[in-house]
Homo-oligomer: A and B are copies of this chain.
Amino acid sequence: MGSWEDYLAYNEKQYLEELIDFLKIPSISSLSEHASDVAAAADWVATRMERAGMDGVRVMPTGGHPVVYGEWLRSSDKPTVMIYGHFDTQPADPLDLWTTPPFEPTIRDKRVYARGASDDKGNMLAAIIGVEALLKSQENLPVNIKMFFEGQEEILSPQLPDFINTQRDLLSCDLILSADGGQWDREQPNIILGLRGSSALQIDVQGANRDVHSGAYGGAIHNPIHALTEIVGSMHSTDGRILVKGFYDMVKQTADEEKRLYEAVPYDESEFKNKLKLDDLHGEPGYSTYERLWVRPTVEVNGIWGGFQGEGTKTVIPNQAHAKISCRLVPDQDPEKILELVISHIENYAPKGVKVTIQPFKSTADPYLIPHDHPGNQAAHTVHKALYGKDPYYTRVGGSVPICSILQKTLGVHTVIFAFGTSENNVHAPDEFFDLEDFALAQKAYAMILNELSDRIF
């Protein structure tokens, strides 16, 4: 038997064929007509895991799209690492913007183009392959392994919290590696320390029992749009602070050491502005752009509507106005508590003369944070340095990936995001692709990090 590196090199062509095969399954989790494709992808993954040498591989029902679980637990004195990823994809529309069809994977310029190529089939398959290479070349693994792949990530994993809670014992581990994520760019590795949480609600303002003429009634009754803009406008100071009472109370100060890590990440403000064609940025006073995106929370109106939206004028006082609001949350803000604060703010500002109804949305996400010097990050750092020849940046991400905080809350274990796409991969957009070099790099990286984790104490 040769080394795991030889094993990977020897099987390179076959792995690419496998990836193409995997990418042909249109496992779009949001479209019910593709439910059987998501199930087919689960079966494909289970078969692939068995071939990699996993024990007890099973497709497990969740009430929605299934998950696939498998394990290799024969190194009893070693840590147990769980690998997470997802085999469902985003929808592919608008189809006409794809150069080649989204579920007919095509190689161009050393890239494979297909929906899911980077997010997340390419990355999760690379992780399986990395494990296989170690196991087949050494007949052993440096750690115990659990694999946990889901089929509902792109629809916010509605059944996962319950499933994980029920399967706490099965899923117990010392560390999770998430194969869903990416690097700063193809030359620069990146360790993600945090994700913002989220919670959201809708405000509905009802005025009279019908739209009325602004001449006949204007001045004597409240206009739901005025009431709504008053409420929404009251949530921020003009200079960008959130004025919802208590909103910042639970925000944890960023540790000085962590702050220094973020300050070390290059930032080019004119490039940032130019990319969006903005003359000026706007945000909470006293914080840098990265801090505003990574360590500070937001209240954002995602949509507003009411009354006449056509050409010209219509002299109407509409009888309804609506707004959608979502918050991005940072440690230690609790999404439910934040909803309470925002709701009581709205209730305080709701004027007489209209009825204000608030509808909180069920899906919330806790913010997530992993210590920068967590053993998992130390291992990732070592692998990054070896593969890229440079130290990774340490950053956070402004968006939300609920699974990380769900796993942490339920299993008490941190997740290291360890994946090899970049922001250039057209994820969630037409012409999604994955560089074949990155596919190979990811396989190596997984083999390396498992070796690195072998002797770490969690």
A361 to chain B, nearest CB (A): 5
B313 x A280 contact (CB < 8 A) = no
Question: What are 8 A-to-B residue pairs whose CB atoms are below 8 Å?
Answer: A196-B215, A198-B315, A215-B328, A223-B301, A230-B238, A278-B353, A282-B352, A302-B315
A206 CB to nearest chain B CB (Å): 9
Q: Cβ of A300 and Cβ of B218 under 8 Å apart?
A: yes
Contacts of A8 in B (CB 8 A): none
Q: Which of A47-55, A119-127, A288-296 makes up part of the contact surface?
A: A288-296
Give, as a whole number of angstroms, the nearest-CB distance from A162 to chain B.
20
Q: How far is the CA of A296 from the CA of B218 in the complex (A)?
A: 10
Q: Are the C-beta atoms of B212 and A276 separated by less than 8 Å?
A: yes
Is A400 part of the binding interface, using a Cβ–Cβ cutoff of 8 Å?
yes
Which residues of B are found within 8 Å of A280, using beta-carbon distances?
A: 222, 352-353
Report the minimum CB–CB distance from A458 to chain B (whole Å): 29
Residue from B196, B292, B305, B351 within 8 A of A304 (CB atoms):
B305
Listed stretches A36-44, A97-105, A318-326, A384-392; interface member = A318-326
Query: How far is the CB of A212 from the nearest CB of chain B, in Å?
Result: 7
- How distant is the Cα of A228 from the Cα of B280 in the complex, in angstroms? 16
A13 at the interface (CB under 8 A from B): no
Interface residues of A (CB under 8 A from B): 196, 198, 200, 207-210, 212-223, 225-226, 228-230, 232-234, 236, 238, 272, 276-284, 289, 292-293, 296-298, 300-309, 312-318, 321-324, 326, 328, 351-355, 361, 363, 397-400
Measured in the bound complex, the distance between the Cα atoms of B277 and A400 in whole Å is: 42
Residue of B nearest to A401 (CB): B215
A324 to B312, CA, bound (A): 9
Sample of 4 further A-B pairs with CB below 8 A, known A230-B236, A313-B324: A233-B234, A279-B352, A279-B355, A303-B306
Contact of A318 with B303 in the complex, beta carbons under 8 Å: yes
Copies in the complex: 2
CB distance from A203 to the nearest CB of B (A): 11
Given A298-B214, A303-B314, does the pair A219, B353 have CB atoms closer than 8 Å? no
A282 and B353 contacting across the interface, CB-CB below 8 Å = yes
Docked-complex contact A221 and B283, CB < 8 angstroms = yes
The 4 A-B residue pairs with the shortest CB-CB distance in the complex, in nearest-first order: A215-B399, A233-B233, A282-B353, A303-B307
Known: A279-B352, A300-B218. A313 touches B238 (CB 8 A): no
